[in-house]
Structure 1
Amino acid sequence: MAAAHAAAHSASHSASPTAHEGQQHPVRVYLVVWGWLFVLSLFSYLVDYFHLQGVLRWGLILLFMGLKAALIVAVFMHMVWERLALALAILLPPVAVLVFAALMAIESEHTLWMRQTFLGVGD
């Protein structure tokens, strides 16, 4: 009984690809991603070309930068084909840092407002 189980276990592992063999993805996937990266870079360039200013400018630049980074991480770093647990372990800490940095920026604006209002500092 144990020998049959061991034989079935080894047969199931020999039929599946090992981790050392790796995966091959169609070249079309990479070409499409390169195309999207080119288009997003063009949009980033157009933000400067049309002389957009203020929050709109920085919002668009950050949006295009984030989209390009997401494409690179997903496809070229093969994150889209990883297990969910591994992807979350790699991606959640930077997202948490960004959220906490945004909260600190909001807090700093509030602190500055309080100091200007009640202490007359920084006028």
Structure 2
Amino acid sequence: MGEKELKAAHSEKWDSDEGEIKLFNSTDEKEEARKLVNDIDKKIRNGVSADNICILVKQTVERYSSEIITLLNERDIRARIENRYQDLLKQSVVSLILEIFKVSLKIQNVTDWEDLENF
């Protein structure tokens, strides 16, 4: 209501194999969640793997996503909030463990040992 129409265009660098972005106009968060979950459900029924679906939010992830996750769960579609894992991966001890795993693999990049030593 009272909002002017937005024109959205993709970057010239975008390739259709890189995914899809949708904008849903809704009157409230519940309507938006229903539209979004219906779209996700349709994509999965048409062969898109749930692992290839991501919802990006600008802020208040927990508040915004609770309704969406509830509706997805009702349709037996698993979902999680990834920023918890992103925060964990930023911790120094996790970075060290990942560096150790990298040098432990048989296929190594020349810089893997240097990265571990620098850490």
What TM-score, normalized to structure 1? 0.30
Structure number with higher helix proportion: 1
